[in-house]
Amino acid sequence: MNKEQLLQYYHRFCRWQQAVPHYVNRHQDTVQCCHNCGTRFADNFCPRCGQRAEVGRVGWNSIKDNIAILWGLDSRSLTYTLVQLLGRPGYLVRDYISGHRQVSFPPVKMLVIVCLFVVIFEAVFHLKNNVLEIKFNVKEIDDVIGWINAQKSWATLFFQSLYILPTWLVFRFAPDYPRHMLPEGFFLQVFLSVQALLLSLFGYWSGTVELVLWLIYMYITYRQLFGYGWWGTLWRLAVVMLTQMAVMLIIVIVVIYFFGYDEESRSDVNTIRILLSVFAVTVVLVAVMLSVTHRINAGRIPQQHASYNLMPIEE
């Protein structure tokens, strides 16, 4: 395989990544009557009740279709969406939050199914892949960490949820998606949670490989979704991740203060000073990072990307 062929494959892959979803009407030349409400139409679905055009008598295919729908293997295939999530993650998220909902498997339902798969996979093969490989030698805190490691799916969703607010503050003036909203950030993190759970399968082999792949995919997703350049995405994502880590540090400080010390230790002046100092410095650093980032972004308010028309905000 020569260099020209590699370039052709690369450009074809890029075109596949950036392709905008389109609707295909397989029944546009056939007028039929809906078996449910009697409406005559020439489309894939009845415009009155929404029933599929292919619905007929109940048979073996009906059993197969209902089982497929239960596990996400129908027209909005779970496997298809997972391939999209790994091959074009940022563009898939942008498609979904821009209004192309029918081309993607429902993200929250997908998260539940992938969580269930990870739990069953770990139970069957007796595998363990901890979320946090740290110990504080404080029983209460170590118990919390133990619970987090035992409930990896919920812990992943919790950690990802801490990215929602920093992402909104840092990326809401992005070139390709200038009206990023907090509810959209929720669905972004749901997709990223599914992505993180899939990548966690590599963690059973090597935790380092899992971490590196997760960082790469985070970067690719944010760059494809928001449209900043390589450097612009890198430093903004670094701010988001540092903010999330700072929030986690604040949570740890609160847990240590309220659960890690008895009344005598909690009344110690030096202990209080250390905890309050770390807490104050963390809050100030987060405020400075977000303030500087906001000023930089606000001074570069971009035009809306021509390829993606944003839907009106749902009240």
d(CA 181, CA 41) in angstroms, rounded, equals 37
> Taking residues 35-48, what's their average pLDDT?
86
The per-residue pLDDT for range 116-132, each reduced to its tens digit, is 888 888 778 777 766 66
How high does pLDDT run on average in the chain?
Answer: 78
- Residue-level pLDDT at 224: 92
Which stretches of the chain are DSSP H helices?
3-18, 60-70, 78-87, 89-97, 107-125, 139-150, 152-161, 164-171, 182-199, 207-226, 230-259, 263-266, 269-298
- Residue-level pLDDT at 216: 94
Q: Among candidates 131, 132, 237, which has minimal Cα distance to 188?
A: 237
The per-residue pLDDT for range 130-179, each reduced to its tens digit, is 666 666 665 656 676 777 777 777 777 788 888 998 898 888 888 888 77
User: What are the Cα distances from residue 269, in Å, to 137, 264, 277?
Assistant: 22, 10, 12
In this predicted model, which residue has the larger pLDDT, 233 or 16? 233
Residue in the block written with tokens 């082999």: 205
The per-residue pLDDT for range 252-295, each reduced to its tens digit, is 777 666 665 555 555 555 666 666 677 777 778 777 877 777 77
In this predicted model, which residue has the larger pLDDT, 309 or 40? 40
On whether the pTM is more than 0.85, the answer is no
- Residue-level pLDDT at 315: 43
In this predicted model, which residue has the larger pLDDT, 100 or 149? 100
**Max Cα-Cα span within the chain:** 81
- Residue-level pLDDT at 306: 42
